[in-house]
Chains A and B, each alone.
Chain A
Amino acid sequence: MREAIKQFTKSRENLIPILQEIQKAEKYLPPEAIYEVSRFLNLSENEIYSIATFYAQFRFARPGEHIIKICLGTACHVRGGINILESIERKLNVQAGGTTKDGKFSLERVACVGCCALAPVVIVDEDVHSKMTMKKVETFLGPLLTGSKKKVKMKKINDF
């Protein structure tokens, strides 16, 4: 963490870049990091939290191993992005903004990733999955779930 801070000068202007560097390394902003930054930039921890919490990019809890971002920009919305989100929520049994109990997946909604022509899109870690359908959800989640304790279970079919 100290390494991440060291490359910067002690200027207020660098606060957000420093937090971004820390998050890149740690995937979130642990309280110890905020403490260190506050000493480094001579700002109160309160002040840093007031800024960090303002920006959507910063997380304050450790995210899952894989981060799944569901784009809900306009184009994704009119092409049914919300159905994709709900479908993934059901499959992983976690709400957007949360992390699965096994710590494997975090689910996030994002406003627009600028791939509107390929809507609806889902980004898994760095990979963009385009023109998503409910059927496709199964195919990209499948390989990620293998190795995890829970596999996608086919729902029991209710007969008469």
Chain B
Amino acid sequence: MTFEQRQHNAIAEWKALDEKPCIYVGAATCGRASGALKLIESVNKELKKNRLAANMIEVGCIGLCYAEPLIDIAGADGVRVSYRNVTTEMIPQLINEHLINNNPVAALALGVVGSSKISGIPNLFDLPVLKPQERIALRNCGYIDPENINHYIASDGYRGLKRALKMSPDEVIEEVKISGLRGRGGAGFPTAVKWQFCRKAPGDEKYLICNADEGDPGAFMDRALLESDPHSVLEGMLIGAYAIGTTMGYIYIRSEYPLAITRLKIALGAMEDYGLLGDNILGSDFNFHIKVKIGAGAFVCGEETAMLFSIEGKRSVPRSRPPFPASSGLWGKPTNINNVETWANVSAIFDKSGEWYAGYGTEKSKGTKIFALAGKINNTGLIEVPMGITLGEIIYDIGGGIPDDKEFKAIQTGGPSGGCLPKAALDLPVDYEQLAAAGSIMGSGGMIVADTDTCMVDIARYFLTFTQNESCGKCVLCREGTMQMLEILTDITQGKGNSSDIERLLELAEAVKIGSLCALGGTAPNPVLTTIKYFRPEYETHINEKKCPARVCKALISFYVSPDKCKGCMACLKACPVGVIKGKSKMIHIINQEGCIRCGVCLDVCPPKFKAIAKVTGSLP
């Protein structure tokens, strides 16, 4: 069968979905964690009960994690409505109303997918959370069945590869150059330049790697892409392999992502069946094979030289560069490494054009970037926005602001290698250069929002605990320096800090930066440096007054029952895990501070109408 025939069949299969009502269940990891699989059972039961003929497909993640689990229902008229925070109890109503009575349930709906209008339900892409977004890498996520290659092909999939194969490898690289694409893994190195190096490197045996070792805590775009649209990534790899001139590729994926691994393997199997992988791809003389390598839990493997050692079956300890992997990588052969999101952009660029892609973004940072919004923000999830959008637009327009109307305090970008930016940075346009100038980095695109209940010293300590733990131990300053910094930070959060600590931290931070071979150590001090830069008074309060203004650091806070508010309801007394709350029914309770472990359960369980428990720092009132 030719590819055109397959394309034809795929489009027919996709269109046939409209002939029957169809239910789309968002079943990526986050959807599943919110109960998507139970919804599938429940939908099936309900369809059977009502003897309805309908299709049900599992789709990936559209990125609106706050609204999970999501299901879309398309009735006989083909109009697809997305429903949010669906529970099994809602299923009978949704099936009944939407599918039988043809009456979409506005009260439970999030939006209408596509351009049809339904009164009372907004169009999905008119929602504030989606309107500013430009979905290029995430183009199919949440729409198609990631386990069905036909869905991808019907959505213009593999057209880019066809186009690329008609070009010469140099023309392909030129097209990437025109697009202005830079590596989405963190460092932002121009993709075309990287490819060119590897293409020009002498030798016939070359390798290509997809870095799916998404280790940054707080970043989950690569997982979502692989779970929701694996072919977009794989098509990008094929185009890259053709341009560079390699026949062997690896996908290095972390073991914490079992669903992504499963879907990748299904996708690879389908590609082989369709002649998109192996020898003579699409009838050309281009050959390419892909192996999946599963990581074993080492953050440092995200560093490219460390990853190479891991694939070779060794300890993943970074080495000095040069030689860069482009000239001497896997088993000493020229190797090109790009991350998942970069590859997904490549396939989009070749489906449209480099020029089209360069139409998005800023002068030096072209295109779009996926960010993972989490922490103290209303609309948690994945977003894809054009470069140059401001942090304020991301947090307030797309993210919907801070829960409980609390005040914004800081945004942490770029994971453990990044930094915390204060309120003044809300007007900062997001691109590689601007973030770097502010002391943070783009990194893989994690964004954690902090409100006034977040302690910046604790955040710095948290990240340092992470990097200290993940340091491979090769460079003395990374291994020992981060340890010393962590000890100082721990002392500060425990009220044992002294006045010279801040200076010592700054001095150590510089030393760790200079004395580390790889980016893990080179950037590990960033969270400490930026929190000192922007939130120095908070450090000083910890050190001088032994107080934690955000009331987070356990050694510096106490829980206290306000005698005038306590009604003696016994809720806290029963919940206290260490039994240090004393009192009787209808008698004011007292917390024995000696034995209190400051877990905060009492505060959680105290009925909101009483609000009798206070969390205080410093001396008790």
A residues whose Cβ falls under 8 Å from a Cβ of B: 11-17, 19-20, 50-51, 54-58, 72-75, 77-80, 83, 86-87, 90-91, 110-119, 121, 126, 128-130, 133-135, 154-160
Smallest beta-carbon distance B547→chain A, Å = 20
B residues whose Cβ falls under 8 Å from a Cβ of A: 29-30, 32-34, 65-66, 68, 214-220, 223, 255-258, 293-299, 310-316, 372-376, 380-381, 412, 415, 446, 448, 450, 454, 459, 462-463, 466, 470, 472, 573-584, 597, 599-601, 604-605
Smallest beta-carbon distance A143→chain B, Å = 16
> B33 contacts A133, CB within 8 Å?
no
> A13 contacts B66, CB within 8 Å?
no
Smallest beta-carbon distance B330→chain A, Å = 10
Q: Kindly name the residue among A83, A91, A115, A156 whose own CB sees the greatest number of chain B CB atoms within 10 A.
A: A115
Contact of B311 among A13, A54, A126 (CB under 8 A): A13
Known: A58-B296, A111-B215, A160-B582. A116 touches B316 (CB 8 A): no
> B599 contacts A117, CB within 8 Å?
no
Smallest beta-carbon distance B249→chain A, Å = 14
> A16 contacts B217, CB within 8 Å?
no
Smallest beta-carbon distance A101→chain B, Å = 20
Closest to B331 in A: A13
Known: A87-B599, A115-B30. A159 touches B582 (CB 8 A): yes
Report chain A residues within 8 Å CB of B217: 72-75, 77, 111-112, 116
Report chain A residues within 8 Å CB of B223: 114
> A121 contacts B33, CB within 8 Å?
yes
> A87 contacts B299, CB within 8 Å?
no
Distance, CA A11 to CA B218, complexed state (A): 35
Across chains A and B, the number of contacting residue pairs, with CB separation under 8 Å, is 170
Contact of A57 among B296, B446, B573, B582 (CB under 8 A): B296
Report chain B residues within 8 Å CB of A116: 217-220, 372, 374-375, 380, 446, 448
> A12 contacts B312, CB within 8 Å?
yes
Contact of A55 among B216, B293, B298 (CB under 8 A): B298
Q: Kindly name the residue among B312, B374, B376, B448 whose own CB sees the greatest number of chain A CB atoms within 10 A.
A: B374
> B33 contacts A128, CB within 8 Å?
yes
Distance, CA A56 to CA B597, complexed state (A): 30
> B29 contacts A115, CB within 8 Å?
yes
Known: A16-B310, A20-B296, A78-B376. A128 touches B29 (CB 8 A): yes
> A57 contacts B299, CB within 8 Å?
no
> A78 contacts B448, CB within 8 Å?
yes
> A73 contacts B218, CB within 8 Å?
yes
Contact of A114 among B34, B257, B604 (CB under 8 A): B257
Q: What are 17 residue pairs bridging A and B, where the CB atoms are less than 8 Å apart in the complex? A: A12-B312, A16-B293, A17-B294, A54-B316, A55-B296, A56-B297, A57-B295, A58-B296, A74-B415, A74-B448, A74-B462, A87-B601, A91-B577, A115-B29, A118-B34, A128-B32, A157-B573
Contact of B296 among A16, A110, A155 (CB under 8 A): A16
> A74 contacts B577, CB within 8 Å?
no
> A55 contacts B297, CB within 8 Å?
yes
Distance, CA A112 to CA B381, complexed state (A): 15
Contact of B446 among A72, A74, A121 (CB under 8 A): A74
Report chain B residues within 8 Å CB of A16: 293-294, 296, 310, 313
Given A50-B315, A115-B220, A155-B579, 17 more A-B residue pairs with CB atoms under 8 Å apart are A12-B313, A16-B310, A17-B294, A54-B315, A55-B297, A55-B298, A57-B255, A75-B375, A78-B375, A112-B256, A116-B446, A117-B30, A133-B604, A155-B577, A158-B579, A159-B582, A159-B584
